[in-house]
Structure 1
Amino acid sequence: MLTQKTRYALRALLYLIEEGHGDAVQLPRIAETQKIPRKFLELIMLDLKALGIVKSVRGPKGGYRLTRHPRGISFGEVIRGLEGPIALVPCASVNFYKRCGDCHDEATCAIRRLFVLVRDRSIDVLNSVSLEDGARWELRLTDSDADNSHSGDPLAADWQI
């Protein structure tokens, strides 16, 4: 299950795409419109900055913006960066592997085999959906809508990353 922190992070990132159009968005505006406690959002944005997903911009038009086009940032990257392992059991994790204390034989363990499969499929799905896809879902745009009418597509903006 996702933590509230990760849900807020995803909500803030989608808002940067939908409202920022590649420009910086001020933190108070994100917090207010997305109903995220401001102090908590400050910590979340610092974590996203450390992951290289957002950067801060100083000045009167400052705030936060994505470091690259939303097409190049997957839900998987954000979730793994904030949550850690995707695997539901430690013995199925690639980066955070830990042997289970009650396992008799890892090579034949049905529980481990199942959760390696779940991990792999989950990672495939999370990595295949970009923040741009998520923003399109939120805006209820289809690919054909975007292709036919770039002037009305907020995601068609030139991203100045």
Structure 2
Amino acid sequence: MKISKRLSKLFSAVFVFFLAFSMVLGFSSSAKASPSPGQEVAAAAGLLKGKPFKWGGTAPSGFDASGFTQYVFSHSYAKLKLPRTVKDQYKIGAPVQKNELKEGDLVFFKIDGKKVSFVGIFLGNNQFIAAASKGVRIQSLSLKYYSDRYAGAKRVLK
């Protein structure tokens, strides 16, 4: 009887050890999906929410629109160097239809007339984040102000 109890305890201990070991190494059956590059960029952008606006700003102490997107893409997992101006950022990437936007896509607007002059990063759920006059904020593409001035979107991530 004593031997069978010892074997039972030993078997239980070994089983628990291997179960814990397999979980540490990632052999468990519950696989988790890795975030996409666009999700990584969107998350990095969200961390800067509330940072102030600064004309010509390219750092967390103060951003303008293109300085914000340039900073986020270069300091996020994407490690992508974007051009400095909205105009030049609009020249790169693949055009994306509004109904096909994905997290991390650049969204462009014609705020000052006929040329693109404002850029943000699409977050999903019809929202984008950008450095505007009141600082880095999340906005809705559905707002009349932005929907009337929407110029298009570009996908710069693969």
**Could you say which TM-score interval applies, normalised by the shorter chain?**
under 0.3
Compute the TM-score of the two structures, normalised by the length of structure 2: 0.24
Higher helix share: 1
Higher strand share: 2
Q: Which structure's CA Rg is the greater one?
A: 2
